[in-house]
Amino acid sequence: MNQHALESPPLLTANAVTVLERRYLKRDQDGKVLETPADMFLRVARAIAAADLEFNKNADTETLAGQFYAIMTDLAFMPNSPTLMNAGRELGQLSACFVLPVGDSMEEIFDAVKHTALIHKSGGGTGFSFSRLRPAKDVVKSTTGVSSGPLSFMRVFDVATETIKQGGTRRGANMGILRVDHPDIMDFIMCKADNKQLNNFNISVGLTEAFMEAVRHDENYDLINPRSGEPVGTLNALKVFNRIVNQAWENGEPGIVFLDRLNRDNPTPHIGMIESTNPCGEQPLLPYESCNLGSINLGKMVVDGKISWDRLREVVHLAVHFLDNVVAVNRYPLPEIARMTTGNRKIGLGVMGWADMLILSGIPYDTDDAVELAEKIMKFINDEGHAASRKLAETRGAFPNFPGSTYEKRGEPPIRNATVTTIAPTGTISIISNASSGIEPLFAVSYIRQVMDDDILVEVHPLFEKIAQEQGFYSPELMQRIALHGTVQDIEDIPADIRRIFVTAHDISPEMHIRMQATFQKYTDNAVSKTVNFAKGASIADVASVYALAWELGCKGVTIYRDGSRDKQVLSTGAAREPAEEVERDGKQPLKKRERPRILKGWTYQMQTGCGPIYITINEDNAGIFELFTTMGKAGGCAASQSEAIGRMVSLAWRSGIQARQVVKQLQGISCHSPSGFGENKILSCADAVAKAIQEHMAANGHASVKEKPAFMKGACPDCGGIMEQEGGCSVCRACGFSDCA
């Protein structure tokens, strides 16, 4: 690599540096950071470039490493997180996406559990289809007993995931899919209705074209026992579809995946059928297959308001070369995965910064012009990506399973990679790149972040801030007003043409979200990760119409999020105050403590913490909530003693007249080294578990009503207090890089 390349530092924001230091950079055994961001990019560039020696012993890997280093440090391209973390290091596992088979025998099921643990330990996420498992109460001839069904075994995978912390930097995430014609489908649709189960899973229903036609005509369809392949009953397709829609409206799950479309575009049907996807749904894979992803920052492809097609072509070709090299140097966690992955050599080149490109081009996201540009951009990337892959095949050969593939059957020339393009949620790599996420619109133009000690910081999108300062309407007060308001669309202090360009996720209709997803899907080999945002007041019928539109427009799956449907952040009293809290005090007199009756009624709540289960008992007297006790399962020592201390202090506070919601406010969100759970059900510590148990108790027993925090506090990040954005079925904090899927 030439000296000039080494002297070019990464174009990183302070926020990006913080994310890299917390989650990516190499550390010693004491946790001390051992490399700079430039060191990390150089480590990755050299490790990936070294793969060229496998194909040409005289390859100039230093020059190639310089090119790889340049596109990463210029923030024009970024590989997926495991590649940044592990390339050139001992672990060497560079893939984010895996799919494992789950067969219909005890041996196959627990082999899959073991393989899941190994993948999560190495830093990957896993997808499963549970459709091969016989239904609950079906016959098991070997034991003359009955099957417990897919859901019971999904819980086994969930518990296994909970115990594995991925490489110290990433946490396990799963996708669980069940075919719509499985006899247990109705139970599967409702399996996450109470938000207390399967918290390490995203779930999706695998829909078939026959099912969707039956929905269209309000017809019944057959349920098939996977053990025998025989019909065992029927259901009304429209009723099942409505159940899926209702549940998605309630809490965003299940999503839907159109299985026949995944297999229509399966390039190697002679090798196997696609049954599942990775955890965020954008990467359909065969059993035992993995995929390596990377994304081009489209915002970096705009110069003076014009798209630089030459620069985009250059980055596409380098990125395809980079990702094919990743397949070569990757250290796979299982030999079966190595065989399947190197047999198909799938890569997934996608994009981020799409919203930034539109803003820099002066095009509003929710317009026909934006859709037209999306088609042009993605067709260009897909065409050039395939051209780059075919160029590699000229010297390296086609992927080994090319004979018999759909490419060969269509008479196309050899290609190095069975798939080339994927639109993934870009999560933390878009934070590193200072880019908007994937193909999502802006989440917010300005938002307020609450940090420790209740300090409030206003964060503004850099392009909006730049324009506001250039045109003379910038002020800190206006930025805070925008953050509290949630949109710029009706703020007259901002010029109308600027308001029109800076539309956010909730300014855009769900139909436009789907149109954008479908447009990118048209020129994407794999699938497209995209969240369809709904306002809190959206109806169930609105969700149903979007699902139907997604099918009609050719999408391969849908993930929706209705604002507030997963927000259970704060408990506050309603009009009536709790009698227990009505204690006179003026700050000078000592608080009067209620005496404890001999008999009290109580409720016990089990919460899962990183130290094991904690049992929280809340007792009441005639005046209301009175005291709290904790028991730490089999755990002892510090965890048990700290929990007992929390219980004593909470009890004293309540008996002295402190409001329950004030206790929740103090305990909620406290983090420890060993969190537990997934999504909004994540338990950050024993103190956080106590807060959540109090919330649950108050809501269930009529002492208080649940209401939302202000918009800027929804989905606060448990690590830093930053705002959490819904992205492809996951929540991501752009302030620190925390993700509940990774």
Q: Is 733 a catalytic residue?
A: no
Do residues 439 and 516 touch, judged by C-beta distance below 8 A?
Answer: yes
Q: What is the DSSP letter of 681?
A: G
Residue 555: its H or E element: none
Measured CA angle at 213 (ends 208, 215), to 5 deg: 95
pLDDT in tens, 659-682: 888 888 888 878 776 788 766 678
Residue bearing the bigger pLDDT, 67 or 584? 67
Average pLDDT over residues 446-459: 61
Q: Rounded mean pLDDT of the chain?
A: 87
Instruction: Check pLDDT > 80 for residue 141.
Output: no
Residue 511: its H or E element: helix 510-522
Helix/strand/coil (H/E/C) assignment for every residue in 521-538 = HHCCCCCECCEEEECCCC
Torsion over CA: 509, 511, 515, 517 (sign): positive
193 CB neighbour count, 10 Å cutoff: 13
**Among the ranges given (170-179, 336-345, 582-591, 601-610), the one the predictor scored with the smallest mean pLDDT:** 582-591
Instruction: Check pLDDT > 90 for residue 186.
Output: yes
pLDDT band at 196 (very low <50, low <70, confident <90, very high): confident
State residue 232's pLDDT score. 96
Instruction: Check pLDDT > 90 for residue 456.
Output: no
Type of residue at 35: E
Tell me whether the omega of the peptide bond preceding residue 476 falls within 30 degrees of 0, making it cis.
no
Residue bearing the bigger pLDDT, 460 or 365? 365
From the list 81, 60, 66, the residue with the least C-alpha distance to 170 is 81
Structure token pair of residue 434: 């200072």
Instruction: Check pLDDT > 90 for residue 279.
Output: yes
State residue 378's pLDDT score. 98
Instruction: Check pLDDT > 50 for residue 580.
Output: no
State residue 715's pLDDT score. 53
State residue 195's pLDDT score. 73
pLDDT band at 429 (very low <50, low <70, confident <90, very high): very high
Reduced to 3 states, what is the DSSP secondary structure of residue 350? Answer: strand
Q: How far does Cα 348 stand from its chain's mean position?
A: 17
**Among the ranges given (138-147, 314-323, 422-431), the one the predictor scored with the smallest mean pLDDT:** 138-147
**Percentage of residues in the chain with pLDDT exceeding 70?**
87
Do residues 407 and 419 touch, judged by C-beta distance below 8 A?
Answer: no
Task: Write the class of the CATH domain 97-277.
Answer: alpha beta
For residue 210, with 0-12 CB atoms within 10 Å meaning exposed, 13-18 middle and 19 or more buried, which class applies? Answer: middle
Question: Which of 319-333, 626-640, 715-729 is the most confident on average?
Answer: 319-333
Which residues make Cβ contacts (< 8 Å) with residue 266, sequence separation at least 6? 273, 274, 284, 286, 406
State residue 635's pLDDT score. 53
Helix/strand/coil (H/E/C) assignment for every residue in 176-225 = EEEECCCCCHHHHHCCCCCCCCCCCEEEEEEECHHHHHHHHCCCEEEEEE
State residue 123's pLDDT score. 81
DSSP of 414-472, one letter per residue? P-S-S--B-B---HHHHHHTT---TTPPBS-SEEEEE-GGG-EEEEE-HHHHHHHHHHT
pLDDT in tens, 83-95: 999 999 999 999 9
List the catalytic residue out of 80, 251, 266, 278. Answer: 278
Q: What is the DSSP letter of 169?
A: T
Instruction: Check pLDDT > 70 for residue 504.
Output: yes
Residue bearing the bigger pLDDT, 314 or 736? 314
- Residue 342 phi, psi dihedral angles, 5° rounding: -75, -20
Instruction: Check pLDDT > 90 for residue 73.
Output: yes
**Distance from C-alpha of 126 to C-alpha of 121, rounded to nearest angstrom:** 11
Structure token pair of residue 446: 């300005």
pLDDT in tens, 681-691: 788 888 989 99
State residue 564's pLDDT score. 78
Instruction: Check pLDDT > 50 for residue 714.
Output: no
Average pLDDT over residues 75-88: 96
Structure token pair of residue 677: 């759970």
pLDDT band at 260 (very low <50, low <70, confident <90, very high): very high
Burial track 264-302 (b if 16+ CB lie within 10 A, e otherwise): ebbbbeebbebbbbbbbbbbbbbbbbbbbbbbbbbbbbb
Q: Is 297 a catalytic residue?
A: no
List the catalytic residue out of 253, 275, 282, 384. Answer: 282
Distance (Å) of CA 614 to CA 200, 635, 636: 19, 9, 11
Q: What's the pTM value of the predicted model, to 2 decimals?
A: 0.80
Instruction: Check pLDDT > 60 for residue 579.
Output: no
State residue 674's pLDDT score. 73
Answer yes or no: CATH 3.90.1010 is held by domain 571-707. Answer: yes
pLDDT in tens, 506-560: 999 999 999 999 999 999 999 999 999 999 899 999 999 999 999 999 999 999 9
List the catalytic residue out of 80, 191, 202, 280. Answer: 280
Q: Is 741 a catalytic residue?
A: no
List the domain boundaries for the chain: 3-91+295-425, 97-277, 446-562, 571-707
Instruction: Check pLDDT > 70 for residue 577.
Output: no
Do residues 464 and 474 touch, judged by C-beta distance below 8 A?
Answer: no
Do residues 699 and 569 touch, judged by C-beta distance below 8 A?
Answer: no
pLDDT in tens, 353-400: 999 999 999 999 999 999 999 999 999 999 999 999 999 999 999 999
Do residues 272 and 221 touch, judged by C-beta distance below 8 A?
Answer: no
Average pLDDT over residues 180-206: 92
State residue 256's pLDDT score. 97
